[in-house]
Structure 1
Amino acid sequence: MGHGHLTILYRGPLASCDYDCPYCPFAKRRDTPEQLRADRAALERFTGWVRDRRHAVSVLFTPWGEGLVRSWYRRALVELSHLPHVERVAIQTNLSHRVDWTAEADLSRLALWTTYHPGQVPYDRFLGKCRDLAARGVRFSVGVVGQPEHLDAARRLRADLPGEVYLWVNAAEGRTYTDAEAADWTALDPLFAYSREPHPSKGLPCRTGETVISVDGEGTVRRCHFIPTVLGNLYDGSYEAALRPRPCPADICDCHIGYVHLEPLPLYDVFAGGILERIPLTS
């Protein structure tokens, strides 16, 4: 059991971020030195588990806060990218930190899921980071939250980014879009329709809990970040016996890192080779 390819979404205790986006509950949070030490120890334990695993694995780091400002996340990404059984290692990031550390990574396995937050960072600084990544050959996507006040900045970014870089748009939480508004965002991200409305998911087959799991800093395994039921622990192997196909118990799924794994949606084909970093096959 459990020895096929396993995708892991890892979220440790880190909850601090250097931005204060009004739509995020983790804005400008500061972790204490003790919390940072605990996060670092948890991440290093997880990295060690991946290193010792002999079966294929992909990892997406989805920290509550910003991970790449912390040396241990950069080190983990570099280290995991060099392991032959790691197919992909990626992280969600606001790209506020320098990017030269990527030179140490295996760029055939590393990927970045980056988000542009207008109002938090000067436009030219963010665009410069993107151009730097592209020049280095780093695989990355760029996204924005679909707030009306972000539309002009998003249009500018789409025009200025290299054509092969995918720009995704996340529907703003709780927002209903008119068809005209949706058309504006779809002009930037042809896949915006998947984000526009929450997906009814109750009873539908989903890959989470079978080939995809969520892991926290204690090693607690859940099927995904949004379902609290515990399947076991990563470090004692108890999760393996729980891996099997199971329907979704939630009414809706409204986050890309969740609904991308819903089997009735075609997103494993749309994002083939780029599921974790949100890069569609065509881009």
Structure 2
Amino acid sequence: MDHLTILYRGPLASCDYDCPYCPFAKRRDTPEQLRADRAALERFTEWVSRCGHRVSVLFTPWGEGLVRSWYRRALTDLSHLPHVDRVAIQTNLSHRVSWTAGADPTRLALWATYHPGQVPYERFLGKCRDLAERGVRFSVGIVGQPEHLDAARRLRSDLPAGTYLWVNAAEGRTYDDAEAASWTEIDPLFPVSRRPHASRGLPCRTGDTVVSVDGDGTVRRCHFVPSVLGNLYDGSFRAALAPRPCPLDTCDCHIGYVHLEPLGLYDTFADGILERIPALFDQP
């Protein structure tokens, strides 16, 4: 195996925001759940440190990971491993960002989402400017709710030069052409997110060079296909890795469809696949 991309999602589900479009808003993990999440993450980090081949990791927690010290430590430690090409995490940036000073900025990256109404605008923008000054790779995004349009336009105008602002189509929402045009002015790639992608039978890198791993080490091809390929820690997943078509009718999440080969998004994002930075917006 030359290189493996891993989407890791442990048991953490708590978040400090209460976005109305998120089922995990303001959810609290018990101390026992937090201890279990920490132990699972430390086990995963240890596996990556000794896996013996090139690897890239995107942490996709249901909750907010970077308010927890063990996620900041994992990102920092993994960024210094020579066989780790990229380590990234999805985050709302509610945490301090000074911890990034201890990481290798050539490997660390953040996928940050702005949630209007959850955080003062200037505070979020200040975090983005701080990251840019520190030379940290990051993208910024927003959910394409109609009430977010003005905030998205303002953010596009104020973000540091070269920062990509992506727009996720709101789940279940249909955009007419005028609405889609407004969002495309902000994010030229919004048409890719606008509608779910027909995927059944199409070649996809998941299950071959990309896998999903949970806190127990269970390996699946992606977060959206429940069938199990094996386990990370006993190595049983390796024999199951192979090119295979998508078994689902549609794929409507970026962390899934970016790996659908007919879409050609590996060419669009190049080295920024995990942190959602297109080649034209490559940083620092």
Aligned residues with identical type, % of pairs: 83
Alpha-carbon offset, residue 53 of structure 1: 1.2
In the TM superposition, 1:78-93 aligns within 5 A as 78-93=76-91
Alpha-carbon offset, residue 180 of structure 1: 0.5
Match of 2:135 in 1: 137
Alpha-carbon offset, residue 89 of structure 1: 0.1
Match of 1:230 in 2: 228
In the TM superposition, 1:17-36 aligns within 5 A as 17-36=15-34
Provide the C-alpha distance between the structure 1 equivalents of 2:123 and 2:161, rounded to a whole number of angstroms. 19
Alpha-carbon offset, residue 162 of structure 1: 1.4
Alpha-carbon offset, residue 153 of structure 1: 0.4
Q: 1:60 is matched with which residue: 37, 49, 58?
A: 58
**Is 1:148 the counterpart of 2:146 in the alignment?**
yes
Provide the C-alpha distance between the structure 2 equivalents of 1:134 and 1:162, rounded to a whole number of angstroms. 7
Alpha-carbon offset, residue 54 of structure 1: 1.5
SS at 2:230 equivalent: strand
Alpha-carbon offset, residue 163 of structure 1: 2.3
Match of 1:208 in 2: 206
Runs of 4+ in 1 over 3 A off after TM superposition: none
Match of 2:119 in 1: 121
In the TM superposition, 1:1-283 aligns within 5 A as 3-283=1-281
TM-score normalised according to structure 2 size: 0.99
Provide the C-alpha distance between the structure 1 equivalents of 2:183 and 2:79, rounded to a whole number of angstroms. 33
SS at 2:129 equivalent: helix
Residues 58-111 of structure 1 deviation map (CA, whole Å, 9 limit, x = unaligned): 000000000000000000000000000000000000000000000000000000
**Which consecutive residues of structure 2, in runs of 5 or more, have no partner in the other structure?**
none
**Which consecutive residues of structure 1, in runs of 5 or more, have no partner in the other structure?**
none
Provide the C-alpha distance between the structure 2 equivalents of 1:174 and 1:7, rounded to a whole number of angstroms. 29
What is the aligned residue count? Answer: 281
Provide the C-alpha distance between the structure 2 equivalents of 1:4 and 1:182, rounded to a whole number of angstroms. 40
The one-letter amino acid paired with 1:138 is V
The one-letter amino acid paired with 2:234 is D
Provide the C-alpha distance between the structure 2 equivalents of 1:182 and 1:134, rounded to a whole number of angstroms. 29
The one-letter amino acid paired with 2:199 is S
RMSD: 0.3
The one-letter amino acid paired with 1:43 is L
